[in-house]
Amino acid sequence: MNRPLVVLDTNVVVSAFRSRRGASFRVVAAVGSGVFDIALSVPMVLEYEAALLAQQLLEISEADVNTALDYLCTVGHQHEVFFLWRPTLRDPNDDMVLELAVAAGCTAIVTYNRRDFRGADRFGVKVWTPSELLKKVGMV
């Protein structure tokens, strides 16, 4: 399999910050390693930032969030989305993720909420959990 280009759903990024034990942490830690690539857009990065800063139970400083997002922006493939298919999914934030995946020509969306992305396959985008991505790239 060629190196897949994926969009990380916000729940995967937040989960990686919540625990260093799970598959989401392994996925986020592998970003930039050359095993897979991530697609980003300005709205996606802003959503990551808002979700991470809203995690008041976590002891994440704004500086830590900014450092992590700066890194993702440095190694990620940045895309602008010029076309919208809203509403396609139940949640408008999920539509934004799907639109980025389609615009960037991604192999898959990586999420814990597979049900939220029903219908992504009609755009040629698969939906994988973090564990499935790790298996597909040979990290499990």
Note whether 12 and 133 are within 8 A (CB).
Answer: no
Report the SS3 class of residue 99: helix
Handedness of CA 100, 104, 106, 110 (dihedral sign): negative
The Cα 9–Cα 110 span in angstroms is 6
Taking 90 as the threshold, does the pLDDT of residue 45 lie above it?
yes
Note whether 115 and 100 are within 8 A (CB).
Answer: no
Class of domain 5-136: alpha beta
Report the SS3 class of residue 2: coil
Of the candidates 63, 62, 70, 60, which has an alpha carbon nearest to the alpha carbon of residue 20?
60
pLDDT one-digit tens code per residue, 66-91: 999 999 999 999 998 876 666 677 77
Domain ranges of the chain: 5-136
The Cα 55–Cα 62 span in angstroms is 11
Percentage of residues in the chain having pLDDT higher than 90: 74
Reported pTM: 0.93
